[in-house]
Amino acid sequence: MTSHLIVSDLDGTLLDAGHDLAPATVATLRALVGQGHHLAFASGRHFRDMLAFRDRLGVPVHLISTNGAYLHDPDNGLLMARHLEPRIARQLIALERYATTRLNLYREQDWLIDAEAPELLALHAHTGFGYRVAEPHEFDGEGVGKVLYIGEPQRLAGLEATVRERHGEQLHVTYSTANSLEIMAGGVNKGTALAALLERLGLGRERCLAFGDNLNDTEMLALAGEAHVMANAHPELPGRVPRARRIGHHADGAVAARLCERFGV
């Protein structure tokens, strides 16, 4: 059988309503690796926040994390890292924002935040990885893969407009959810990381299946030979990747169902 690369977003795509891997999904992915296929997870999450899902599978999985800023192999080896220019990162850190908008920095080994946010700890509790409230001197802009603002969508829209006006193509600006404005260096996204992984594996894009649900999946889906958009996807996503196949809801295990259909698992 010809091997393929199967790459999937996590939240809202591969994970169920409880932000976990359903047993049927675990069984399906293990069976696909048994057939000789390659797996990759691609997420806005931090690399260390994704390890619990890979370890649960117990099979090799490449990890595209921080929206493509980092690419790790199945043995945690760092294959690629692309950081924001420190000068620009410091400008993003210094942007005026509402008191309820949380500033987050994703670096290679840690996740920094400007103040406590218990709701975020609860969301990530099952992975064993969470933020650390940073000391002022740690907001120096060095080694930052992503600047993340979390807050009310109407507040984030103002920040987004300011960032785009000041920095333009120097940055890649997207959303993972309506309340998460994510900013990476220009050209950093899940699609560019996926292209690097396909080259490393010696596979053409026609042998790649991708699954996603939000705007930060756009470039990844556009690159893949077989693109899939979830029924629960952001309303703008299907229009951005019009050739993508629409499948079911993430809470119903639609990714696993499609893979079983496609590969006869």
Q: Walk along the chain (265 residues) in steps of 10 and give the mean pLDDT of each run.
A: 94 94 97 98 96 96 98 97 97 94 96 92 82 92 97 95 94 92 97 98 97 97 98 96 97 98 94
For residue 63, the cross-strand partners are 41, 72
Q: What is the pLDDT of residue 126?
A: 81
Which of 234, 22, 175, 252 lies closest to 244, judged by CA? 234
- Kindly give the interhelix angle for 86-94 and 153-167, rounded to the nearest 10 degrees: 140
Q: What are the residue ranges of CATH 3.40.50.1000 in the chain? A: 5-81+188-263
Per the structure block, which two tokens stand in for 250? 């993430």
Q: What are the residue ranges of CATH 3.30.1240.10 in the chain? A: 86-185
Q: What is the pLDDT of residue 101?
A: 96
| Spatial contact of 59 and 33, defined as CB atoms under 8 Å apart | yes
H or E element at residue 52? helix 47-57
Q: What is the pLDDT of residue 73?
A: 98
* CATH architecture assignment, domain 86-185: 2-Layer Sandwich (3.30)
Q: What is the pLDDT of residue 118?
A: 87
Active-site residue list: 9
Topology of the domain comprising 5-81+188-263: Rossmann fold (3.40.50)
Q: What is the pLDDT of residue 177?
A: 87
Q: What is the pLDDT of residue 95?
A: 95
165 Rama class: left (phi>0) / alpha (psi -120 to 50) / beta: alpha
Q: How far apart are CA 1 and CA 65, in angstroms?
A: 29
Range 91-95 contact pairs with CB under 8 angstroms and sequence separation of 24 or more: 91/166, 91/167, 92/147, 92/163, 92/183, 93/139, 93/141, 93/147, 95/159, 95/162, 95/163
Query: What is the value of pTM for the model shown?
Result: 0.95
Q: How far apart are CA 191 and CA 206, in angstroms?
A: 14
